[in-house]
Structure 1
Amino acid sequence: MKITPLEIRQKEFEKGFRGYDKDDVKAFLASLSQEWEREMDIQKELKLKLEAAEKEVEKLRQVESSLYKTLKTAEDTGANVITQANRTAELHLKETQIKADKLLSDAQQRAKDIVEDANHKAQAILEDTEDELKEVADGFKQLENHRDNVIEELRNLSTGLNDKVKKIEDRMQHVDIETHLKRARKAVKKIQNADEYELEEVKRPSIKHEAAKVPKAEKANHSEEPKQQNKNEESGGEDTSFFDEITAD
């Protein structure tokens, strides 16, 4: 039987000859006692549960506090790590930038040195080439001068030979071959009749071939004519042969 507080307040007891009915009062009190005991048990159970809940709450609060502290520590540590990482990254970035700038500067200087060295070598090669070309040009000029001199000498030689051939042709036109043949027979007869005299060595007449000379040699040729005349005078005006007259020039 469930008794509410309202029923307890409104409960009325019948009056008997001597007051309230004792049985009703005892029955009500028994029921009230049972209900109250039950309520006390429930209250005790709830109290135990409340204590357990409070302990659990306390544990949860401790866990929460620990988690909060851990989270705070993690946040602080994370912030420190991030800050340190940022500083390290900035430091590495600066070092990398410095190294990159140095590498770039070294590469530019190296390229500049290579270009300057190449320019110097090219200039040296150009100067050497110009000197060689100048030497070749001078040599070619000397060859041209030598060629011109040779051509001039050949022209002079050709002119001298032509003049000599012309002189020989002119003399041959004025030579009397029969007269010279008679002189030759006469000389042979003299040799045959000279038994009492010692035989003299007679040189066979030969045609002399003069080497071709440049115009300088023509003066020597002109000087031979007086020598030939002197020779004729020394021989006492002997008759000269046909071949002597031809080669006299």
Structure 2
Amino acid sequence: MPLSPLDIHNKEFSRRLRGYDEDEVNEFLDQIIKDYEALIRENKELQTQISTSQEKLGHFTNIEETLSKTIIVAQEAADELKNNAKKEAQLIVKEAEKNADRIINDSLAKSRKVALEVEELKKQAAIYRARFRALVETQLEILSADGWDALETRESREPRELEA
């Protein structure tokens, strides 16, 4: 057990003949007591500072651990968000490609349908022209036939007969 300043102060030495000077020993002991008390105070202050520093260190260590965990969680969240964004972008691209393919296929089908309709209309127009040509030719033949001339002459005579 270490000595306390009180132990030093209360220490009694036995007396002998030709011993040390009692006043010098007492002065020296008083100086030792003062120095020892100062060292004890300084030691307590240092221990208090160490304790405070350790508390602060513990606090800052906790903050560091919390920040580290927070950074890790934030990084994981950012990675997950990035992965989700990539997946969503891929889905959007696939959907756009499907829509583009559907639009192209619809357009091609409509184009084919219009082309078939145009061909059908051309055929119908050709048939109509052929029938109309045949009709006109038939009418021209009728007009050029001798029977028409006979009708014409008959008509021109009949009104004269009515006059007479």
* Bucket of the pairwise TM-score, normalised by the shorter protein: 0.5 to 0.7
Identical columns (%): 21
- The 1-side partners of 2:111 and 2:62 are apart by 70
Distance 1:20 1:141, change over 3 A: farther
User: What's the CA shift for 1:50?
Assistant: 1.1
Residue 44 (structure 2) pairs with residue 63 (structure 1): no
- The 1-side partners of 2:30 and 2:82 are apart by 74
User: What's the CA shift for 1:146?
Assistant: 4.4
1:28-78 deviations in Å (ceiling 9; x for gaps): 443343233223222211211211211221122122222222222222233
**Aligned AA (1:81):** L
1:44 corresponds to which residue?
Answer: 44
2:130 corresponds to which residue?
Answer: 130
**Aligned AA (1:55):** E
User: What's the CA shift for 1:132?
Assistant: 1.2
- The 2-side partners of 1:141 and 1:132 are apart by 14
Residue 113 (structure 2) pairs with residue 96 (structure 1): no
1:114-148 deviations in Å (ceiling 9; x for gaps): 221122123212321232133223323432x1489
1:107 corresponds to which residue?
Answer: 107
**Aligned AA (1:126):** A
Residue 34 (structure 2) pairs with residue 34 (structure 1): yes
Distance 1:132 1:45, change over 3 A: same
User: What's the CA shift for 1:19?
Assistant: 5.6
Residue 112 (structure 2) pairs with residue 118 (structure 1): no
1:85 corresponds to which residue?
Answer: 85
TM-score calculated relative to the size of structure 2: 0.65
Q: CA RMSD in A?
A: 3.1
- Trace 1:182-193 onto structure 2 (pairs within 5 A): none
* SS of aligned partner of 2:113: helix
Larger radius of gyration: 1
User: What's the CA shift for 1:20?
Assistant: 4.7
Uncovered stretches (5+) of structure 2, i.e. residues with no partner = 1-17, 158-164
* SS of aligned partner of 2:71: helix
User: What's the CA shift for 1:21?
Assistant: 4.4
- The 2-side partners of 1:140 and 1:24 are apart by 167
* SS of aligned partner of 2:137: helix
- Which structure is higher in helix share? 2
1:135-181 deviations in Å (ceiling 9; x for gaps): 223323432x1489749x98xxxxxxxxxxxxxxxxxxxxxxxxxxx
Kindly tell me the number of residue pairs found equivalent between the two proteins: 137
Distance 1:27 1:148, change over 3 A: farther
Pick 1 or 2: higher relative contact order, CA cutoff 8 A, min separation 6.
1
- Trace 1:165-204 onto structure 2 (pairs within 5 A): none
Uncovered stretches (5+) of structure 1, i.e. residues with no partner = 1-17, 155-210, 212-249
1:181-216 deviations in Å (ceiling 9; x for gaps): xxxxxxxxxxxxxxxxxxxxxxxxxxxxxx7xxxxx
- The 2-side partners of 1:28 and 1:22 are apart by 10
**Aligned AA (1:137):** E
User: What's the CA shift for 1:113?
Assistant: 0.9
- The 2-side partners of 1:51 and 1:148 are apart by 140
User: What's the CA shift for 1:88?
Assistant: 2.9
- The 1-side partners of 2:131 and 2:117 are apart by 21
